[in-house]
Structure 1
Amino acid sequence: MTGRRRFGSIRKRDSGRYQVRYPGPDGQTRTAPETFARKSDAERYLSLIEVQMMRGEWVDPARAEVRLGEYAERWIEERPGLRPRTRELYSWLLGKHVAPYLGGVPLGKLDTPLVREWRSTLLHKGVSPSMAAKSYRLLRAVLMTAVKEDGILRVNPCRIPGADQESPEERPVLTLAQVFQLADAVPGRYRAFILVSTFGCLRWGEAIALQRQDIDPVRGTVRVRQAFTEQRGKGLVLGPPKSRAGLRTVTVPASILPAVRDHLVGSVPDDPDALVFTVPSGRPIWRGNFNKLVGWKATVTALGVPGLHFHDLRHTGNTLAARTGASLADLMARMGHDSSDAAIVYQHASAEADRKIADAINAELKAAAKKERKARKKKRPDAPDDGAAGALVPAS
């Protein structure tokens, strides 16, 4: 028995359930992916499909059957502009934290409760909040393409407030004295490496890719034109910096220039293309070997910052730059960021530090005011205590 309708058709199967069929925008007939126990449910489904088509919101159920794992792999392969290390990170996150749980799920079956359950499973299994946030952002980006570019989904199911936020532990910031103590503690060949990386706010790959032509020991400038990245199966690959904003020239403090000049004279060949910071053989420094070369763990432990990472030198330089009161644009230029987010974080930290200074001064003023009031009370016991303290602030 077939129901006659203006749009689509409903047929009662031998099982007693109702099957829905309807024409797609391309004229091809589609069958609903499931049958319905009641005819009224089938009619409501057809009405919904018709409205979606009229609004341009209809999604072909056949396209939504593609598995998330397959779709995400293609997304990573075909995504334009991804740097090799970013591509490697996305592939690792997909294989480690996304595909084992959601890889076999058709895109059309993904919904917010399922995404929420997946994220909760990651956290319960000991995945760090930071790594869970990275995985969530990858999944959201993949599914956003399915919504906006491919039209496979109507809405992105990644709609969990705060799931994309990382709360990394506070990284250490060295004092100026500690920076120079660290530079003096490592083998002499790497002293200038520590100083330039810190005060130039350089990333690891940028620092080890510097060539003699990039250093002006007279003007005190360091030009960042390229960076090394470690790629699986390829080793160190020389390419552009992390972003377009990474192409920059930074000025380092004059106080470290003697160390830079000594290093250029004693450890760098007189060739414009010669790498500035290398191992004794002249080859680039590998991140994994550097700790052993300089005895990093023992050195930073003796310095009083046992958890210090090399990247914290850039963090220290960024923090020192922010404390100068530099503008947001100037901080972005020095740090090599094309987004203001990171620079704003450093500006905020600098503002908080400035507030602490003001609060400390205010505490001293209040203590002095209290002392003065006591002195006045002692001289004139009958004088009213109105909280005034001459030129000092009141006690409140």
Structure 2
Amino acid sequence: MAEKRKRRFGRVRKLPSGRFQARYPGPDGVDHPAPYTFTSEREAERWLVLKEAEIQRGDWMSPDAGKVLFEVYAKSWIDDRVLKVRTEGLYRSLLKNHLVPTFGNYNVCDLKEADVRRWRKERLGVVGQSTVAKAYQLLKSIMSTAVEDELIRKNPCRIKGAGTPDTPERQMIPLAKVLEIMGKVPERYRALVLLGTFTSLRWGELAGLRRPNLDLDGGVVRVVSELAELDGGKLMEDTPKSRAGRRVVSIPQEIIPELRHHLDRFAEQEENGRVFVGPKGAWLRRSGFRRIWNKARADVGLPGLHFHDLRHVGNTLAAASGASLKELMARMGHASPRAALIYQHATQDRDKAIAEALGQALKVARGEGPKRRSGKGHPGRQVRGTNQGTGTQRARHQK
């Protein structure tokens, strides 16, 4: 009988159940069992060969590395980062309300792709897609760090497009409606509506604007700070979230006289005074302005209009004027082109005009027009040629 070959890496033993267990010495000096048992000794030996190769490649990961509760790891993930106050508040809210209830008691290493898919489907049935997308993106970022920390081998968040909010396209209202709204809000807030429309500033950027940064002689507004309204109603001045948010935006000359009137009458008069304040001189709060806004939008027949939609109007008009993608991004304060691309549809009318001009050029090349009116009418006025005219007209044109 041939002597059984001695195994050079790891060992295999038969269990009372009849299955086989494999164990191996890890690089950490600890004897580790395979995560599951095998139906045959050959299967167990094959697993040991692969595990040895993994160690030799330097790809080995301790099976105990990811045995930390997701809730603990996620909270430390937020604690270890330098975040804007509002961003940190958003992350903690998403973690508390959408991630911890499902994954809080999971070990990081036990969170699988199927778990993420089930969680996302369940959440989409409870809250809006935008909120789920933000929660998913936070989960994905946390688990990416777990990969970098060598707690897990791969990120279980692998659903294509799940982290992109599906933001519905805003209603494009005509400028006449903006002027109607200005006529409905108290005079104190008319400049707020103008700047919100024609400079693409966000609410927090407007509420945090100070005199030195509204340069009416130079025709620009400098965005260097914003007013953040935190949970619980606390207000805090902060810098813009990104470098792109710190920007200089040109102001249309046509609205500067009204802005000067606002500075003279309603803004704080000290050198570093706030441009927009409430009737009693307090910070301008979104919650305090909401009642005024709701009445104004209802009076003009747009009960679903958001103040942020004014920014949409300005961005759309800027795109229609021929602004490039980079110019739109700079004006809006976006580092990513994704949001700016939304407004590229505003160039559709211009594109139609271009297509019409190209079509007219083709007609000329084909000898189909344009033609001049004969008989009565304004001398020299041209009309588009068609192939529906009389044979005499076509013959005259061809000559």
Please give the TM-score of this superposition, normalised by the length of structure 2: 0.85
SS in 2 for 1:22: strand
Tell me the C-alpha RMSD between the 2 structures. 2.9
- Contact 1:373–1:389, Cα closer than 8 Å, also in 2: no
Going from structure 1 to structure 2, the CA distance change for 1:90 and 1:174 (only over 3 Å counts) comes to same
Match of 1:256 in 2: 255
CA distance in 1: counterparts of 2:324 and 2:31, whole angstroms: 61
Going from structure 1 to structure 2, the CA distance change for 1:117 and 1:153 (only over 3 Å counts) comes to same
Instruction: Compute the displacement of 1:338 (Å).
Output: 2.2
Match of 1:394 in 2: none
Match of 2:374 in 1: none
Q: Which amino acid aligns with 1:313?
A: L
Match of 2:63 in 1: 61
Q: Which amino acid aligns with 2:129?
A: P
Match of 1:169 in 2: 168
Q: CA-to-partner distance for each residue in 1:33-61, whole Å, 9 max, x for gaps?
A: 44444333332332332232223322211
Identity of aligned residues (%): 42
CA distance in 2: counterparts of 1:87 and 1:320, whole angstroms: 34
Residue segments in structure 1 that go unaligned for 5+ positions in a row: 392-396
Question: Among 347, 350, 356, which residue is 1:354 paired with?
Answer: 350
Q: CA-to-partner distance for each residue in 1:150-179, whole Å, 9 max, x for gaps?
A: 011211121222322332211122322222
Instruction: Compute the displacement of 1:361 (Å).
Output: 7.5
Instruction: Compute the displacement of 1:253 (Å).
Output: 0.7
CA distance in 2: counterparts of 1:323 and 1:117, whole angstroms: 42
Match of 2:179 in 1: 180
Q: Which amino acid aligns with 1:215?
A: L
Match of 2:129 in 1: 129
Instruction: Compute the displacement of 1:237 (Å).
Output: 0.9
CA distance in 2: counterparts of 1:306 and 1:374, whole angstroms: 49
Q: Which amino acid aligns with 1:146?
A: A
Q: Which amino acid aligns with 1:373?
A: N
CA distance in 2: counterparts of 1:162 and 1:362, whole angstroms: 38
Output aligned runs, 1:374-393, within 5 Å: 374-376=388-390
Output aligned runs, 1:138-287, within 5 Å: 138-147=138-147, 149-233=148-232, 235-287=234-286
CA distance in 1: counterparts of 2:99 and 2:132, whole angstroms: 10
CA distance in 2: counterparts of 1:222 and 1:97, whole angstroms: 39
Match of 1:330 in 2: 327
CA distance in 2: counterparts of 1:344 and 1:116, whole angstroms: 29
Going from structure 1 to structure 2, the CA distance change for 1:215 and 1:118 (only over 3 Å counts) comes to same
Going from structure 1 to structure 2, the CA distance change for 1:65 and 1:271 (only over 3 Å counts) comes to same
Instruction: Compute the displacement of 1:359 (Å).
Output: 5.9
- Contact 2:140–2:157, Cα closer than 8 Å, also in 1: yes
Going from structure 1 to structure 2, the CA distance change for 1:87 and 1:41 (only over 3 Å counts) comes to farther
Please give the TM-score of this superposition, normalised by the length of structure 1: 0.85
Match of 2:33 in 1: 31
Instruction: Compute the displacement of 1:223 (Å).
Output: 1.4
Q: CA-to-partner distance for each residue in 1:83-140, whole Å, 9 max, x for gaps?
A: 22112212222222222222222222222222222222222x3332222222221211
SS in 1 for 2:345: helix
- Contact 1:3–1:9, Cα closer than 8 Å, also in 2: no
Q: CA-to-partner distance for each residue in 1:249-277, whole Å, 9 max, x for gaps?
A: 21111111111111111112321221110
Between Structure 1 and Structure 2, how many residues are aligned? 377
Going from structure 1 to structure 2, the CA distance change for 1:130 and 1:213 (only over 3 Å counts) comes to same
Establish whether residue 89 from structure 1 lines up as the match of residue 90 from structure 2: yes
CA distance in 2: counterparts of 1:194 and 1:3, whole angstroms: 85
- Contact 1:58–1:154, Cα closer than 8 Å, also in 2: no
SS in 1 for 2:282: coil
Going from structure 1 to structure 2, the CA distance change for 1:208 and 1:390 (only over 3 Å counts) comes to farther
- Contact 2:65–2:152, Cα closer than 8 Å, also in 1: no
Going from structure 1 to structure 2, the CA distance change for 1:242 and 1:390 (only over 3 Å counts) comes to farther
Instruction: Compute the displacement of 1:4 (Å).
Output: 4.9
> Structure 1 stretches (4+) deviating beyond 4 angstroms?
356-366, 368-371, 388-391
SS in 1 for 2:153: coil
Establish whether residue 373 from structure 1 lines up as the match of residue 371 from structure 2: no
Output aligned runs, 1:13-32, within 5 Å: 13-32=15-34
Going from structure 1 to structure 2, the CA distance change for 1:219 and 1:277 (only over 3 Å counts) comes to same
Greater mean alpha carbon deviation, residues 110-119 or residues 138-147 = 110-119
Instruction: Compute the displacement of 1:375 (Å).
Output: 3.1
SS in 2 for 1:373: coil
Q: Which has the larger radius of gyration?
A: 2
- Contact 2:91–2:138, Cα closer than 8 Å, also in 1: yes
Q: CA-to-partner distance for each residue in 1:187-216, whole Å, 9 max, x for gaps?
A: 110000110122111011111111111112
Match of 2:299 in 1: 302
- Contact 1:76–1:90, Cα closer than 8 Å, also in 2: yes
Instruction: Compute the displacement of 1:357 (Å).
Output: 4.5
Q: CA-to-partner distance for each residue in 1:218-247, whole Å, 9 max, x for gaps?
A: 222211111111223571111111211222
Residue segments in structure 2 that go unaligned for 5+ positions in a row: 371-382
